[in-house]
Structures are given as C-alpha cells and as structure tokens.
A and B are shown apart, each in its own frame.
Chain A
C-alpha cells in the first residue's frame, strides 16, 4: 500500500464517520461541526486528486463562510429534540424506501460494467508546472463563458430576492441616517447662554454673614 493510498483510506474513514455523525448527532451544533469536518476531509481528498484550486475553494466557501452562517443560526435556535423525533416511526416507511432506492442506484453505478469505476484508468500524473487555477480560469472565461455568466446572474437574482424578501420597515426601527449624524451643527445640540457673573455663595461666607458676632468671639478666644 503506497503512502497516497494510506492517506486516501484515512481521509475516507474520517469522512464517512463524520458524515454519519452529522445525521446521528443529537446536538445540532455538534452536527454542524461534524459537517465542517466532513467538508474539510473531502477537500483533502480533492487535494489527493491534484485539484488544489477546488479543494481550497471548498474550504474557503463552505467551511469559511457557509458553515459559519449555519452555526450562527443553529446556535440561536432553541431546538426541542424530543419533538423532532416524534414522527420517526410514521415517516420511517417512506424514508426507508427512498434510502433503499439510493443504495440500489449507488450499488449499480459502482458495480456495473458499462458505467462502473472499475474500468476507469488512473489519470496520468500531470506536469508539475501546470497551474490548475490558470487552466480553470481559462476554460471558464473562454469555452464556458455563457454558462458561467448565466450562473452568476442567477446567483445575483437569488441575492436580490433574498434581500427583498427580508427587507421590511420595522416600527421600532432605531436606524439613524449617517449623513444627518455627520451634518449636525454645534447649535443643534448645545445652547450657550450669556449672563452676568454672580458672587460666590459658599458655606463659610454664609455662616459669617449670618452670625458675625459668634465668629469674632471664637477668633478672640483662641489665643487666650
């Protein structure tokens, strides 16, 4: 067994275990984190296929952005696990049929002679100076430019639609327009009042003004 085969089986084992964990974990946060692990190991598998651009993009997009938002939402949910499991036996027959179909289909693909992977030859090793990123970019922007542009526009429409669906004016909105905040003048906030100065009225002078006789008496008695 070569070193690469060993790495492949190692990554595949981790991938299968973590993918099983995603659907069996009771805690949704654990499930989301296991999904992160699954993405990460599958990007390792892509690296083994020398598809470094796709592998790094998988980590960048799914691990770095999509799953962060997933976790963001999952952590804020207060999920009642018991209620989620209530309908288990009711949905089992339907789910079982779908699962069986999937297993049969996968088995047919993996074992059949005409479409099976047994006959697919191992790809020849690529020249080391070949840049996948460059090749991919060249293909996307020349040969497949129209499908690529259409996909981009569909994504843009999805973004606009998502924003339009959630955009609403709330009654208790505390939004402040930054332009008006910056445009505030001193006179809007502070009023400077001009007035004549007044004599200071502190405790000592108040006491002496009220009882001048006592004060002088006290002073005279001290040296004696």
Chain B
C-alpha cells in the first residue's frame, strides 16, 4: 500500500472496528460477521464504481476536447469554466428525456439489453488490482475471469439490435456479433502470451513478475510486443470504437444497434462503452506496461516508488490513444475488419506464442523465469 493512502486506510480500519462493535451489540455474535462482510464489500464496490462513473463522465469531455484540438476546434467550452460541467449537463439531459419503446419491439428484452451491456462492464472491475493489496477480489484465475466476463458484453448489443424491431439496429447487431467473436480469439491468444510470460493467471502476480532491474525494459511490452499491439487494437475493436465502430456506423446504418434507444436507456449503452474503454486501458497497463510499477529507478525518491498513481497515468495514456485513433483513422470497411482479425491478428499471435515458447527455453530470455 502506498504511503499516500495510508491515513485513509487506517481511518477505514478504525471505522470498521467501531462498526463491528456496534453490529455485535445489535445482532449478536452469530450474524455480525456476515453483515459486516456484506456491508464492507458493498462499500468497497462503491469505492470502485463511483470513481469509475466519474471518470466515464469526464472521459466524454476529454474525448470531445481532444478531438476538438486535433481538428483545430475548441471543443465544449460553454457549460462551466472551460466546459467542465458539460458531462453533468449531458447526464441531466439524458435523465429527463423520454424513453420511447418502438412499436413491435420486444419490451422486456428492449429494457434488459442496456443492463446486459453495463453488467459485464462493471463486473470485470471486481478483479482489477490497483496495487498489490488494493483489489476487491484477489482470485487465482482473474485473467480468465476477465476474459469470460468481457465476452458477455456482446449480448447487450445483440439483444438491443434484435428487440428494437428495426432493420438498422439488427444490421448493427449482426455486424457487432461477428466482429466481437472474431476479435475475441486474437485477444485471447494475446492473453495466452501474457500467461506464458508471467506463468500465472493472477493479475497481481502478472504485475509483480514484470518487476526487474531493467525498469521499463523489464515490462512485458518488450518480449510480447506483437501481442501488445494485437491486444491494443483488438481492444479497440472489442469496445466498438472507431475505426472499428461498424456496429454504430452512423454514415451507413444511422446509429446501428442503439438507433431506437433514447434517454437513459441510450445513456447506459454509452456508459458501458466508456467503462469498457477504461477497462481495456487498465488491463493493457497491467499486463504489458508494468501496472503500478514506476518507470524510474527506486533511487529517485517519490518518483521511483510504485503506486496506483502510475497505473492511473499509464491507463490515461492508453485511453487517450483510443481518442487519438478515433480522430485519425477513417472507418474500416466491414470485410477489411474481418480480414484483419482472422488473417492478420490470429496468425501473428499464434506465431508469436510459438516464438515465445521457444525463446523462454533459451538463456536469451531475461524476463520472469519462474520460481
């Protein structure tokens, strides 16, 4: 635990002790530990979800600003100082707008679809570590868990497209289903490379095993460079972001799978997309860029300390590059997306896994060697 958070953690422990005493007094010795555990877990979940939702809100502002600067515009600058209250205004607008259910739509699934989109986007955060001890659930197979949970995100898109009873929405859903299933394979193989290099499925161990005397060069982005690029690009495709945003494809199929959604139901899709973007950025930082490890030697004092601030900084750089891609590249043609996924990324990852396996048997492998 970094020194910055130590006072807060100490305060938390004292509050926990106080609360436990109160619970024992009220509910007796039997039930108190269970209630304490439930309350504590709920509070920890809030500690992750509230900052996440705030970052999603301000990521939308940051995106509009960055794209504005790239296109020689100012971006939003009217609501609040420098446009800082813009996300709040947007959120309020979406909250009070009417939710319209199209005629002939499957009402139940139409409402369930946004929930199916946001649920995996939030559930995956349960195992994301911010520091060695700062994690909600430190499970052994967290990498596998992340893969399983994020693979469920596609249901929100498919169900939304089908339940809307609209041909544009349906086309968007079909495109998205095929695209996400294709890129998940390349993404999975990239993760196999990480698993081989770290010899662990635990995200905390994966970061710990990137720690070495070489600093930045000890992180896995050097030995796994092709997998790092594949993961990053497949991450853009998985989150349906430009230049892979054919599921939305404004210029072709209006707004794709969420064309019939308005108000809060649309906002939830929006939240899920941005939460997924932030998740992919965090995972890239954790698996390839050393997580909370400092890029500087330890002798540099505060700069050399590993801290969750480093993780935030790295994730911020990755998420900003998502915005940069969006402002730079034109949208892929659909058959080119499929070709890139199946004929470029999957062979690249397969070959690199083979190379990695051979490389790790030689003395030239200077990264994590196992215990």
Q: Residues of A with Cβ closer than 8 Å to B?
A: 3, 29, 33, 36, 52-53, 56-57, 59-60, 63-65, 68-69, 71-72, 75-76, 131-133, 178
Contacts and interface: CB of A to CB of B under 8 A. Distances in A.
Contacts of A60: 144, 147-148, 151
Given A60-B148, A64-B151, A65-B151, A133 B181 contact: no
16 contacts: A29-B109, A36-B155, A52-B141, A59-B149, A59-B151, A63-B152, A64-B151, A65-B181, A65-B184, A68-B154, A68-B177, A69-B177, A72-B174, A75-B162, A132-B140, A132-B141
Interface of B: 34, 106, 109, 139-141, 144-145, 147-149, 151-152, 154-155, 158-159, 162, 170, 173-174, 177-178, 180-181, 184, 201, 336, 339
Nearest to A29: B162
Contacts of A33: 109, 159
A133 B158 contact: no
Given A29-B162, A72-B158, A75-B162, A56 B178 contact: no
A68 B181 CA distance: 8
B148 A56 contact: yes
A56 B339 contact: no
A117 B162 CA distance: 44
Contact of B158 (A52, A53, A59, A71): A71
A52 B159 contact: no
A53 B109 CA distance: 31
Given A52-B139, A59-B152, A72 B177 contact: yes
Contacts of A178: 336, 339
B152 A64 contact: yes
B332 to A, nearest CB: 12
A152 B177 CA distance: 26
Given A33-B159, A64-B184, A72-B177, A131 B152 contact: no
A64 B146 CA distance: 12
A52 B339 CA distance: 35
A137 to B, nearest CB: 10
A71 B162 CA distance: 10
A63 B120 CA distance: 12
A133 B195 CA distance: 12
Given A64-B152, A71-B158, A133-B201, A56 B144 contact: yes
Contacts of A68: 154-155, 158, 177, 180-181
B32 to A, nearest CB: 15
A184 B118 CA distance: 44
B333 to A, nearest CB: 10
